[in-house]
Amino acid sequence: MWFRNHYRCDRCGTSWTDEWSCCCDDDCPQCGARHMSPLESEDLTIIIDEDDDGTFAVLCSPDSASDEPDYDEVARFPTKAEARAYADSLTEAVARSAEGNNPATALDEDDSNGAAGIGVIAVEGSLDALLAEEDEDDHSASEEAISKIPAEIPATANRQSRAERIRALNDAFRSTLDPKAGRVMLTAGVDALPSDVKATAIRKVATFSDFSPDNDPHGEHDFGSFDLAGHTFFWKLDYYDEALAFGSNDPADPEQTIRVLTLMLAAEY
C-alpha cells in the first residue's frame, strides 16, 4: 500500500505533501505543529510506468511497504490503454475484497504469494477456442440468451431495467467469451495451472450462478468467486470504451462498451 498525502497546517497555513504507506497525520515542516491530518490522499498502490521499450508495466506496492513503496511489476502490456484497463480491474478487485463485498477470506499479510506474483496473459478467442470441446446445447443456449436481450433501453427506464440489461449483457459475454464483445485476461498463476484445471476454471466462470447480495450488490453479475483444485479463484468484469482508455459511458450499450473479464487466483495477492 502506498499513498501521497496532501496537508495544510492549521496554524501557519503551510501546504506540503508526503508519501507513506498509510493515510496518517504529519507534523508541519514549517512551524512544527503536530498531528495535521491529510486534506486529501492519493492512492498510489497500483500505478502504470512506461518502460524504455515502449511497453507499459503495472506496478503494485505490497502491504509490507513501509519507508519506500517497493513496487513490484505485476503485468506488462503493449499499450497504456490495456495497462490502465488491467490496473483499474485489479484496483477494484482489491477494494471489493477489502470492503468485504466478496465471499473470499482476507489473505494473510505475510503470505509469500503476494502481489509480486501476479502476471497477466491476454486471451483471444471465444469460449470455443479457449476450451477444446464445448457442448453444442450449451452454445445454442448462449446464443438464445443473447437474442433475448432487448436491443435498447429507453432513456426513461428505471435503474432496475438498466441493471437487468447490464446483467444480461454480462451473462451473454461471460457464457460465450465472444471476442467481439470483450477481452479475457488470465493471471500468470491461472495460466500456469494444468490444462484440465484451467479449462474447468474457465468453464466455471462461464456457468457461474452463485450470485448473492454480498458478491453482487448491484445485480449486474460482474463478480464471482469459487474454489477448484485447492485454489480460490476470483473473476471480475469491468466496462471500458472501445479504445480501452476510459470507462464506458453506458455499460448497458454494447456499441460503446468493451467488457474486460479477469480471472485470477486469490493466492496471487
Out of 68, 98, 128, pick the residue that ends a domain. Answer: 98
Q: What was the pLDDT predicted at 35?
A: 85
Q: What was the pLDDT predicted at 98?
A: 45
Out of 98, 132, 151, pick the residue that ends a domain. Answer: 98
Same domain, 149 and 247: yes
Residue 185 lies in a domain: yes
Same domain, 257 and 127: yes
Query: And the C-alpha cell for 171?
Result: 451473462
- Distance separating alpha carbons of residues 137 and 78, to the nearest angstrom: 38
Same domain, 68 and 126: no
Same domain, 71 and 186: no
Residue 88 lies in a domain: yes
Q: Can you give the residue range of the structural domain that contains 48?
A: 3-98
Answer yes or no: pTM beyond 0.85: no
Q: What was the pLDDT predicted at 223?
A: 92
* Torsion angle, alpha carbons of 189, 193, 195, 201, to 10: -70
Residue 30 lies in a domain: yes
Q: What was the pLDDT predicted at 129?
A: 59
- Distance separating alpha carbons of residues 83 and 164, to the nearest angstrom: 29
Out of 50, 67, 98, pick the residue that ends a domain. Answer: 98
Number of structural domains the chain divides into: 2
Residue 126 lies in a domain: yes
Residue 177 lies in a domain: yes
Going through the chain in order, the beta strands assigned E by DSSP cover: 3-8, 15-20, 40-43, 46-50, 56-60, 72-77, 120-123, 182-187, 223-228, 231-240, 258-265
- Distance separating alpha carbons of residues 3 and 192, to the nearest angstrom: 32
Strand partners, 56: 50, 77
- Distance separating alpha carbons of residues 65 and 20, to the nearest angstrom: 9
Query: Mind listing the pLDDT tens digit of every residue in the chain (269 residues)?
Result: 788 999 999 999 999 999 988 888 899 999 999 889 999 989 898 899 998 888 998 888 877 777 888 888 877 888 888 888 878 776 765 554 444 433 222 223 333 333 333 455 666 556 655 655 434 444 444 444 444 444 444 444 455 588 899 999 999 999 888 888 889 888 888 888 888 788 888 889 989 999 998 888 889 999 999 999 889 999 999 898 888 888 888 999 999 999 999 999 988 76
